[in-house]
Amino acid sequence: MGSLFRGSRCKLFLSIAGQMTTGSSVYSTSIHHFEPYTEGFSVPAPSTYTAVEAPKGEFGVFLVSNYSNRPYRCQIRAPGSAHSQGLDSMSKHHMPADVVTIIGTQDIVSGEVDR
């Protein structure tokens, strides 16, 4: 009975080892999807600006290329920056105390604008 028990453990081990080799081949074939994130990507020369619609407004990314797999410069334009640029025209002909209410209405996040 002891040898039968050991034999079943050996079969279980061989079956798990077989699944591990199959799993590693699946891993090595699926790892190619992550290569652009780990090795970098080519930025269109000399610079590019891409914007998408975010929940609070337009979210933009400006990349400057140095012709390598990493961008030379990356600048992020958050939606709050466009909101804060309109503050001057929105607060014209209002009292200074009203500026607080105008900023609250626009939902400006200072940490977002400060990037």
Q: For residues 44-56, give the mean pLDDT.
A: 87
Percentage of the chain modeled with pLDDT above 70: 70
Tokens of 97: 């105390």
DSSP character at residue 108? -
Structure tokens at 37: 């994130």
Write down the mean pLDDT value for the chain: 77
Rounded to two decimals, the pTM is: 0.56
Mean pLDDT of 23-39: 67
Q: What is the mean pLDDT of residues 57-63?
A: 90
**What's the whole-number mean pLDDT along residues 26-53?**
76
pLDDT digits (tens, 9 = 90+) for 74-110: 899 888 888 888 888 989 999 999 989 988 888 888 7
Q: What is the 3-state secondary structure (H, E, C) of 9-65?
A: HHHHHHHHHHHHHHHHHHHHHHHHHHHHHHHCCCCCCCEEEEEEEECCEEEEEEEEE
Separation of CA 45 from chain center: 22
| pLDDT of 17 strictly over 80 | no
Going by pLDDT thresholds of 50, 70 and 90, the confidence category of residue 38 is confident
